Amino acid sequence: MTTPEEQVLLGERPVPEAPRRAQDEARTARRERLRLLLRSRTFLAGAAIFNIFVFCAIFGAAVVPYDPLGSPADIANQLQPPSSSHFFGTDQLGRDVFSRVVVGARDILTVAPAATLLGTILGAALGLTTGYFRGTVDDVVMRIVDAFLAIPLVILALVALVALGPSKGTIIVVIGVVFAPIIARTVRAAVLAERDLDYVQAARLRNERAPYVMFAEILPNVMAPIVVEFTVRLGYAIFAIATLSFLGFGVQPPAPDWGVQIKENYIVINGGYWWPTLFPALAIASLVISINLMSDGISRTSQ
Amino acid sequence: MGRFLLKRLGLALVTLLLLSVIIFVAAQLLPGDVGRAILGPFADQRAVDELNEELGTNRPIIVQYLDWMRGVLTGDLGDSYAFNRPVEDLLWPALEKSAKLALLAFLIVVPIGIFGGVAAALKEGRFRDRVISIGGLSATAIPEFVWAVVMIMIFGLWLNVLPVTAQAPAGADFFTQVEYLLLPALCLVFVLFGYIARMARAGTIEALDADYTRTAFLKGLPRRTVIRRHVLRNSLLPTIAVVATQVGYLIGGLVAIELIFNYNGIGQLIFRAAQKRDFPLLESAVLVVGIVYLVATLLADLLYSVVNPRIRLTASES
């Protein structure tokens, strides 16, 4: 009698479809994580708030009652307190604060995710390479990463934006490049834990090329920390971009950006005009909190 | 210990060298034509050439870098283009002011953060833990300038109890100075709280799980004694050492805070230098920030290794 394994070797039986089973397992695990995620109250609360801002970003411009960029007639009603015709009042130029806050979601929700995505892709590539090859490349890159981390994020971005000039494209590139070393460090740590496992050895013994092993074998297995890192960095990206706009080196006026609105109006708080500053401030705060709630939920379920 | 110290110092020097290259690249190479960047697109080409000649930015890149490094090493940081004064004269007073503000923020946030983290860890996974963890995480993620405008509204406008500028009148006594610095320091406290609480929480949870804690409980020591003598002693020292690494982050936060509260520290100096495209001043100020961060992390590492000898062993093995 031959065992099933021997029958396979003798060609009497087809090779069992192991890869598909592995895929099925991965799919079940993913479904299980999603199910856990949808039961996490922190994630759901975060997602609910976040979706309001996504709605504002997509449809805001179409539904707001006034032109967020203002009209010549506005100048007559500057700094009106909140009322039924202007829910959030009007700013120093008489523009409707409610319309500006709603439409302001669009800039931050395009620039911040784009910058974070760029940083994640660069960082993941860097982390995979240094973690996989170790050795001199690793040492050199990690020293450079250390040096990058010695400069506060906002200041590094500030210097680069002064040199390159502010525009949405440069903000995305600058924040992305500044994030890359930080993300690389996390990805590298995850890769170090994977690189000596059996499946990596097996791939190497099959004589696969290094890029294949890195991107097709290791990458899918370190996706969970990368996703968590992405959501955490997204919060920081909003932090950094809002701060840069506030300092005048990010999104430029008259765009209805929240940081720009606070920059334009915080001077008049002491005169009792708190509304043009408070509402964009609350918008920034609730957006970053919603992202933090979501990333807290994701990191809990992916553990 | 000597070997560890030397190795750590060597690494810090290498990092410092790389740091100077990064700053040089960002401030002197990225703008392309520095004179043009300072004077703007409509300036006369002759004026641009003259400025480049004056700043030395028309020389080969490597010569410029070596020249800047020689200046840094001999304590001559050059002249600020916008303020027409030696960079050192602007830098040191600003650094001193920022140090005062940062010190006050640290004195407030370290005890509160540790207390919050330990309180959360003792109820791990329960309601109190979730409130402190998520609250801390959210407070950390909200930019300092958002905290600042909200604080100004609450304390300056509605309660009218605290000054909304940070600079105390000349000759003010110690307590008046603290009063003026309180609001800006509080904004930094909010941003730092979450991080410190998270470190203290993680350290305490680890210590609670340790064998020595179980032994202490099993030999019948009261809970209070176990926590004070066995858990806290092991969990807090690393936390305190790690706090030092937040110094760099704090300085980044100072840019917006000092601007809002009108305080001429290093943050506002960097902001003004950036606004006026004063690259010589900007370069040196950012380098100083980096050095402060490296020194702080170096001290933190040393403190940690004195407290925990195991670190020395693993570091010299690797």
* Alpha carbon of A282: minimum distance to chain B alpha carbons (Å): 8
Provide the CB-side half-sphere exposure for A25 (13 A, CA): 6
Of the given ranges (A239-243, B175-179, B221-225), which has the lowest mean pLDDT?
B175-179
Q: Would you say residue B163 has pLDDT above 50?
A: yes
What DSSP letter does each residue of chain B carry, written as one string? -HHHHHHHHHHHHHHHHHHHHHHHIIIIITTSSHHHHHH-TTS-HHHHHHHHHHHTTTS-HHHHHHHHHHHHHHT---B-TTT-SBHHHHHHHHHHHHHHHHHHHHHHHHHHHHHHHHHHHHTTTSHHHHHHHHHHHHHHHS-HHHHHHHHIIIIIIIS--S-SSS-PPTT--HHHHHHHHHHHHHHHHHHHHHHHHHHHHHHHHHHHHSHHHHHHHHTT--HHHIIIIIIIHHHHHHHHHHHTTHHHHHHHHHHHHHHHTT--SHHHHHHHHHHTT-HHHHHHHHHHHHHHHHHHHHHHHHHHHHH-HHHHHHHHH-
- Cβ distance of A151 and B274 shorter than 8 Å: no
Q: Is residue A248 part of a domain?
A: yes
Which of B19, B36, B149, B266 to substitute to test the interface with A, most A CBs within 10 Å?
B149
Q: Would you say residue A279 has pLDDT above 50?
A: yes
Domain count, chain A: 1
Alpha-carbon distance B57 to B59, whole Å?
5
Q: Is residue A21 part of a domain?
A: no
**pLDDT, averaged across chain A:** 83
More confident residue, B172 or A291: A291
Mean pLDDT of B228-233: 80
- Cβ distance of A159 and B31 shorter than 8 Å: no
Q: What is the pLDDT of residue A1?
A: 53
Alpha-carbon distance A238 to A109, whole Å?
8
Chain A contact for B25 (CB, 8 A cutoff) = no
Each residue's pLDDT tens digit, A167-181: 888 999 999 998 998
Q: Would you say residue B103 has pLDDT above 60?
A: yes
Q: Is residue A3 part of a domain?
A: no
- Cβ distance of A151 and B286 shorter than 8 Å: yes
Residue B166 backbone dihedrals phi, psi, to 5 degrees: -95, -20
The residue type found at B35 is: G
Which residues of chain A neighbour B14 with C-beta distances below 8 Å? Answer: 143
- Cβ distance of B143 and A239 shorter than 8 Å: yes
Alpha-carbon distance A16 to A24, whole Å?
14
Mean pLDDT of B177-201: 86
Chain B contact for A253 (CB, 8 A cutoff) = no
Q: Is residue A136 part of a domain?
A: yes
Chain A contact for B259 (CB, 8 A cutoff) = yes
The C-alpha angle with vertex B73 and arms to B72 and B76, in degrees rounded to 5, equals 50
Classify residue A166 as left (phi > 0), alpha (psi -120 to 50) or beta: beta
Which residues of chain A neighbour B141 with C-beta distances below 8 Å? Answer: 235-236, 239, 288-289, 291-292
The residue type found at A270 is: N
Chain B contact for A244 (CB, 8 A cutoff) = no
Q: Would you say residue B269 has pLDDT above 70?
A: yes
Chain B contact for A164 (CB, 8 A cutoff) = yes
Mean pLDDT of B9-14: 86
Which residues of chain B neighbour A250 with C-beta distances below 8 Å? Answer: none
More confident residue, B27 or B70: B70
Q: Confidence class of residue B47 from pLDDT cuts 50, 70 and 90?
A: confident
Residues 53-112 of A with CB under 8 A from B: none
Q: Is residue A32 part of a domain?
A: no
* Alpha carbon of A150: minimum distance to chain B alpha carbons (Å): 5
Contact residues for A202 (Cβ-Cβ < 8 A; gap 6+): none
Which residues of chain A neighbour B253 with C-beta distances below 8 Å? Answer: 152, 154
- Cβ distance of B293 and A160 shorter than 8 Å: no
The two three-digit tokens of residue A172, written as one number: 């995305």
Q: Confidence class of residue B158 from pLDDT cuts 50, 70 and 90?
A: confident
The C-alpha angle with vertex A192 and arms to A188 and A198, in degrees rounded to 5, equals 140
Q: What is the pLDDT of residue A16?
A: 54
Q: What is the pLDDT of residue B317?
A: 45
b/e code B61-96 from CB counts within 10 Å (16+ = b)? eeebbeebeeebeeeebbbbbbbeeebeebbeebbe
Minimum-distance CB partner of B137 among A146, A154, A292 = A292
Chain A contact for B159 (CB, 8 A cutoff) = no
Give the Cβ contact number of residue A227 at 10 Å: 15
More confident residue, B33 or A268: A268
Q: Is residue A154 part of a domain?
A: yes
Residue B190 backbone dihedrals phi, psi, to 5 degrees: -60, -45
Minimum-distance CB partner of B286 among A159, A239, A243 = A159
Q: What is the pLDDT of residue B318?
A: 41
* Alpha carbon of A289: minimum distance to chain B alpha carbons (Å): 5
Which residues of chain B neighbour A146 with C-beta distances below 8 Å? Answer: 11, 15, 18
What DSSP letter does each residue of A199-224 carry, written as one string? HHHHHHHTT--HHHIIIIIIHHHTHH
Alpha-carbon distance A44 to A36, whole Å?
11
Chain B contact for A152 (CB, 8 A cutoff) = yes
**What chain B residue is nearest to A151 in terms of C-alpha separation?**
B290
Max mean pLDDT range (A18-27, A109-118, A130-139, B133-142): A109-118
Provide the CB-side half-sphere exposure for B64 (13 A, CA): 21
Q: Confidence class of residue A5 from pLDDT cuts 50, 70 and 90?
A: low
Mean pLDDT of B153-173: 77
Q: Is residue A14 part of a domain?
A: no
**Host domain of residue A269:** 37-301
Q: Would you say residue A9 has pLDDT above 70?
A: no
Chain B contact for A279 (CB, 8 A cutoff) = no
Which of B146, B258, B288, B289 to substitute to test the interface with A, most A CBs within 10 Å?
B146
**pLDDT, averaged across chain B:** 82
Q: Are B36 and B48 in contact (CB under 8 A)?
A: yes
Q: Would you say residue B309 has pLDDT above 70?
A: no
> Percentage of residues in chain B with pLDDT exceeding 70?
95
pTM for this predicted structure: 0.83
Q: Would you say residue B306 has pLDDT above 80?
A: no
Q: Would you say residue B315 has pLDDT above 60?
A: no
Mean pLDDT of A36-59: 87
* Alpha carbon of B221: minimum distance to chain A alpha carbons (Å): 34
Alpha-carbon distance B318 to B301, whole Å?
16
Q: Is residue A31 part of a domain?
A: no
3-class DSSP state for residue A90? strand
Mean pLDDT of A122-145: 87
Each residue's pLDDT tens digit, A182-241: 899 889 988 988 888 888 888 888 888 888 888 888 888 888 889 888 988 998 899 889
CATH number for A199: 1.10.3720.10
Q: What is the pLDDT of residue A3?
A: 64
Each residue's pLDDT tens digit, A77-87: 777 788 777 77
